[in-house]
Chains A and B, each alone.
Chain A
Amino acid sequence: MAIARTWKSHSVLPGFGLALGFTILYLSLIVLIPLSATFIKSAELSLGEFWAVVTAPRALASYRLSFGAAAIGALLNAGFGLLTAWILVRYTFPGKRLVDAFVDLPFALPTAVAGIALTAVYAPNGWLGQWLEPLGIKVAFTPLGVVVALTFIGLPFVVRTVQPVLEDLEAEIEEAAACLGANRWQTFARVLLPALWPALITGFALAFARAVGEYGSVVFIAGNMPMISEISPLLIITKLEQHEYAGATAIAVVMLVASFALLLVINSLQWWVSHRHGRKQ
């Protein structure tokens, strides 16, 4: 076959130029040009200054908290998300459809509302906090509070990536495993889990990426003490309020680069999942 000389294959449908032109113009004006402003603005700093800002102890502590708490939250969500997807697909119980619908609550609930609600629950005098306090567990106004908020906002991702894959798994392979003498746990660990891995990792990555940049739900419950419970997005705002525009932008550039890398990983993961799915006989 001859290699196509044009970049677009022929179609009788009209409107391609208009639709694509508008799409690219819109994305450029709303997303791309404004985002490029961060990189250009941070270039006002010399390389040495930039390095000093982004590796200042307070900045490093904020990355540790943002990325660390996001990772712990995403891990918790990977485990309990798999469990939730499992009971929603495999079992029947009263109220199941309601529970299924509520899993998406963190997508629909504004982050500020989630923030004050979680604080009301986990503050030392809160609904659950008052029972945890005597046990010596402080949640709100500590880094643990950050983990709670980031777990909340990442909750739907693993459930929603694992659920469809679990629904599509054929019963035959489990029956075959049972016939060959595997017990239930062996079937799960050796047959089901390998099939769920790609979806599980994708869900983890999505939850992690969402949590790293999260702001609204965290600021209420975190306590926001520099070096201890201050997340990176809050550090950006603090610097903005002190009119340190270049400094705020430098931190933003670090976070943007991390986000772009994550987006790349997620896209390849999703390609991997669909590829695996497509090849399945």
Chain B
Amino acid sequence: MSSAVLTYSPGAIRISAATQEAAWVRWGLIALALGWLALFLFVPLAAIFTEAFRKGLEVYWASLVDPDALSAIKLTLIAALIAVPTNLVFGIAASWAIAKFDFRGKQILLTLIDLPFAVSPVIAGLIYVLLFGAQGWFGQWLSDHDVKIIFAVPGIVLATIFVTVPFIARELIPLMQAQGTEEEEAAVTMGASGWQTLWRVTLPNVKWGLLYGVILCNARAMGEFGAVSVVSGHIRGLTNTLPLHVEILYNEYKFSAAFAAASLLAGLALVTLALKSFIEWKTGAELRASNEENSHEH
């Protein structure tokens, strides 16, 4: 009945106008939202690069090839290179168990995986100090065996792993749940081993989600500040990551050098956003293609 109203022209015009705002309202709302985003996103982002290049390219370059800056970059890369693969293995194991099987307590397990998102980064650092610090549970044993975790690289890696635990698992679980288990069951029934099924069936099906999770995990791993700050001890050239290096320079009023280091991290953030948009576009395109295929079949 409503379709009859819609196909007769006068009614249709009135109805479509009634579900659209007037042009001045539309543009007013767009301007208000963009103004808001400018205040909090665009202006601060522009400030990073402007401040970084304020004293010219030479100063910019010099502050990046400074030995302390280089060792901070190296440590940041090391921490991410350990934390991301570790959490990748965890993410695949957790999503295999949760998405492909039904068992009791699944909801509790999901909540536990989310836990690091809910915990303040400072507390994430504190817990490792309580365990491995000089006054900690294992502090005496560690110092007897000459192992340093807190104020050393292992502590930084541990804190980085903690804050990035959920990223890959949280991307994979809903995706793998949506894929169902039929393809895997077919593979296993035809004689594939569990590993073959994982490598050749499951992971290729979720490759974009996997990449998405890895990119977000990496961005957080390289940029983590609070947790790493607590366990690092800020020893220059030894336990400084890039975000900590930014803090030290800033507190010494070396603003150009601080913003130069910050511009590297901001660049990383921009690359992360670009890759994220690319994957969203790619998966969107694949989804549309498969929908079209389905509609052709009918």
A associates with B: yes
Stretch at the interface among A14-22, A50-58, A195-203: A14-22
- Given A101-B273, A237-B122, check contact A31 B131 (CB 8 Å): no
Task: Answer whether residue B73 sits at the interface, using C-beta atoms and an 8 A cutoff.
Answer: no
Task: Answer whether residue A175 sits at the interface, using C-beta atoms and an 8 A cutoff.
Answer: yes
The answer to whether A13 touches B44, judged by C-beta atoms less than 8 angstroms apart, is: no
For A105, the chain B residues whose CB sits under 8 A away are 41, 45, 269, 273
Task: Answer whether residue A117 sits at the interface, using C-beta atoms and an 8 A cutoff.
Answer: yes
Nearest chain-A residue to B19 (Cβ)?
A174
The answer to whether B118 touches A116, judged by C-beta atoms less than 8 angstroms apart, is: no
The residues in A between 68 and 90 inclusive whose CB is less than 8 angstroms from any CB of B are 80, 83-84, 86-87
State the Cβ distance, A22 to closest chain B Cβ, in Å. Answer: 5
Which residue from B97, B118, B184 sits with its C-beta under 8 Å from A209? B118
The answer to whether A12 touches B185, judged by C-beta atoms less than 8 angstroms apart, is: yes
Task: Answer whether residue A248 sits at the interface, using C-beta atoms and an 8 A cutoff.
Answer: yes
For B34, the chain A residues whose CB sits under 8 A away are 99
- Given A8-B101, A30-B162, check contact A236 B30 (CB 8 Å): no
Nearest chain-A residue to B216 (Cβ)?
A107
Bound complex: CA A37 to CA B266 (Å): 35
- Given A112-B243, A151-B40, A215-B226, check contact A19 B96 (CB 8 Å): yes
The answer to whether A179 touches B15, judged by C-beta atoms less than 8 angstroms apart, is: yes
Task: Answer whether residue B223 sits at the interface, using C-beta atoms and an 8 A cutoff.
Answer: yes
Task: Answer whether residue B250 sits at the interface, using C-beta atoms and an 8 A cutoff.
Answer: yes
The answer to whether A216 touches B226, judged by C-beta atoms less than 8 angstroms apart, is: yes
Task: Answer whether residue B177 sits at the interface, using C-beta atoms and an 8 A cutoff.
Answer: no
Task: Answer whether residue B296 sits at the interface, using C-beta atoms and an 8 A cutoff.
Answer: no
Task: Answer whether residue A242 sits at the interface, using C-beta atoms and an 8 A cutoff.
Answer: no
Nearest chain-A residue to B249 (Cβ)?
A116
- Given A30-B161, A215-B120, check contact A117 B131 (CB 8 Å): no
The residues in A between 18 and 37 inclusive whose CB is less than 8 angstroms from any CB of B are 18-20, 22-24, 26-27, 30-32, 34-35, 37
State the Cβ distance, A15 to closest chain B Cβ, in Å. Answer: 4
The residues in A between 141 and 162 inclusive whose CB is less than 8 angstroms from any CB of B are 148, 151-152, 155
- Given A15-B96, A31-B112, A236-B122, check contact A245 B130 (CB 8 Å): yes
The answer to whether B118 touches A31, judged by C-beta atoms less than 8 angstroms apart, is: no
The answer to whether B121 touches A116, judged by C-beta atoms less than 8 angstroms apart, is: no
The answer to whether A27 touches B43, judged by C-beta atoms less than 8 angstroms apart, is: no
- Given A7-B103, A8-B102, A13-B194, check contact A249 B188 (CB 8 Å): no
For A155, the chain B residues whose CB sits under 8 A away are 40-41
State the Cβ distance, A96 to closest chain B Cβ, in Å. Answer: 9
Interface string of B119-160 (1 = CB under 8 A from A): 111110011111101010100000000000000000000100
Say what secondary structure dominates the interface of chain B.
helix
The residues in A between 173 and 187 inclusive whose CB is less than 8 angstroms from any CB of B are 174-175, 178-179, 184, 187
The answer to whether A263 touches B114, judged by C-beta atoms less than 8 angstroms apart, is: yes
Chain A interface size band reads: 35 or more
The residues in B between 173 and 215 inclusive whose CB is less than 8 angstroms from any CB of A are 181, 184-185, 188-189, 193-194, 197-198
The answer to whether A215 touches B33, judged by C-beta atoms less than 8 angstroms apart, is: no
Which residue from A11, A31, A86 sits with its C-beta under 8 Å from B101? A11
Task: Answer whether residue A252 sits at the interface, using C-beta atoms and an 8 A cutoff.
Answer: yes
For A24, the chain B residues whose CB sits under 8 A away are 109
The answer to whether A245 touches B19, judged by C-beta atoms less than 8 angstroms apart, is: no
The answer to whether A110 touches B119, judged by C-beta atoms less than 8 angstroms apart, is: no
The answer to whether B118 touches A35, judged by C-beta atoms less than 8 angstroms apart, is: no
For A110, the chain B residues whose CB sits under 8 A away are 222-225, 242-243, 265, 269
Nearest chain-B residue to A122 (Cβ)?
B44
Task: Answer whether residue B168 sits at the interface, using C-beta atoms and an 8 A cutoff.
Answer: no
The answer to whether B265 touches A256, judged by C-beta atoms less than 8 angstroms apart, is: no
Which residue from B120, B165, B216 sits with its C-beta under 8 Å from A212? B120
Task: Answer whether residue B77 sits at the interface, using C-beta atoms and an 8 A cutoff.
Answer: no
Known: A26-B93, A30-B162, A175-B19. 4 other contacts (CB 8 A): A15-B96, A101-B277, A112-B244, A215-B120
The contact sample of 24 A-B pairs, CB cut-off 8 A, is A7-B105, A83-B36, A84-B37, A86-B33, A93-B30, A104-B276, A105-B269, A108-B269, A108-B273, A110-B223, A110-B224, A111-B243, A112-B243, A113-B246, A121-B47, A151-B40, A175-B18, A187-B19, A215-B120, A220-B247, A233-B122, A248-B126, A259-B120, A263-B111
A-B pairs, 8 with minimum CB distance: A213-B120, A110-B223, A178-B18, A216-B225, A215-B226, A14-B194, A8-B103, A233-B122
